[in-house]
Amino acid sequence: MLSDREIERSASRIMTQSTKSNLFYPPIAGDPALSRVLITGGTGFIGRNLLSRLSRMDSQLRVAVRPGGQSRLPALPSLQVHEGSMQRAEDWHRAVDGVDTVIHMVGATAGSRSELLQVNRDITLNLARACSEVPNPPRMIYVSSLSAGGSSQRSLPRHPREVSRPISNYGRSKYEGELAALSYAHRVPTTILRPGIVFGPGDKEVVRLLDPIARLGLNPMAGFHDPEIAFVHVEDLIDAIIAAAIRGRTCQGSEPHHGDGRGVYYIADREFITFSQFAKYAADGLGRKWVFNLRMPLSLVGSVAWVNEQTGRLFGVRSTFNPDKIREASCAAWTCDLESTEHELGWSPAARLQERVHQFASTYKKR
């Protein structure tokens, strides 16, 4: 495992060679940080894409899944699978022992407050503790969320050094997960990533925004405002995860904002767009010449979301269309400062956001 000092020297050397263009510096296959990697959340949208990428980089991959989760993993050669309950630190010891880097992505996006904490906080705590107890603790990359930091003001992106102010149950649970990881950061070198809204191949959430645009040319919107949003394509997020494993700095202190936010990186495209702009980009990819923004009162949307959540509970179905997400939708902006991400990781998106959304919508159209 690379020491923190070696990581800093590597980042400094890269920055000396870089230009103001902030181009992404691709990792070299066989990099020590990616030699032996444990991935959690490998059955999810981001995890499956990450596994496929790392399998092409000569990494020895190990993935931790809940019992029965192996069938939902991508078919990759030489993939080591560890099945466990994830409810105790002891469940993780065998999974983390002998790896150089842990990329932790297990997470719940919907559910009650206690259900969200059970996954996003408690599993993270168990994993971090297990990492601290093996003879050679691995480095941990915790993929959190922009929601953990909280919303922002228009034209004033949130910076990693700011005190976190999550406003939703989901955001609070991810923030609690960050605190859980940091409680062992004195033993386990830890880097936190806070991506914006992630979309791309295999996504099951953002793709729902395309349904009414494709079928009716309508873009339903909660409220009469149009918040600025940070989006990131899954391939660009994966670039950032890999760059963080190789070059990212590690957190200092028990709170994400300690040490001027060192080791905390927001991941998003530099172009912050509104939902109406997203709809325009998507409409172009869908072959539609126009799209109408259907604005609905927040009170009405919130009531429908509440009914949807209660109905889901009756049938054991968790949906992200719930009051928790409506609270997030009521904010003026969800934007973030990317300076440390670009300069310390040498990262920037590989394509413009408009092109990414166009490609995303075009793929939807061909289904």
Which of 77-91, 208-222, 235-249 has the lowest average pLDDT? 77-91
Confidence band of 305 (pLDDT split at 50, 70, 90):
confident
Residue 321 reports pLDDT greater than 60: yes
CA pair distance 12, 4, nearest whole angstrom = 12
Structure confidence by residue, pLDDT tens digits, 85-134? 888 778 898 899 999 999 999 988 988 899 999 999 999 999 999 999 99
Say if strands 60-65 and 80-83 run parallel, antiparallel, or are unpaired: parallel
- Distance, CA of 53 to CA of 59 (rounded, Å): 10
* Residue 276 CB partners (closer than 8 Å, separation 6+): 219, 221, 226, 293
Radius of gyration of the chain (CA): 20
Cβ burial, residue 227 (10 Å; 0-12/13-18/19+): buried
**Phi, psi (deg, nearest 5) at residue 267:** -125, 115
Contact 175, 129 (CB under 8 A): no
120, HSE (Cβ side, Cα atoms, 13 Å): 27
Structure tokens at 110: 């919907």
The domain defined by 4-198+231-269+335-350 carries CATH number 3.40.50.720: yes
Name the more confident of 9 and 14.
9
- Whole-angstrom distance, CA of residue 42 vs CA of residue 64: 7
Q: Is the pLDDT of residue 29 over 80?
A: no
pTM of the model: 0.89
pLDDT for residue 299: 86
Distances in Å between the alpha carbon of 315 and those of 69, 117, 257, 305, 309?
22, 21, 40, 15, 10
Domain residue limits, the chain: 4-198+231-269+335-350
**pLDDT class for 30, splitting at 50, 70, 90?**
low
Q: Read off the tokens for 271.
A: 């172009």
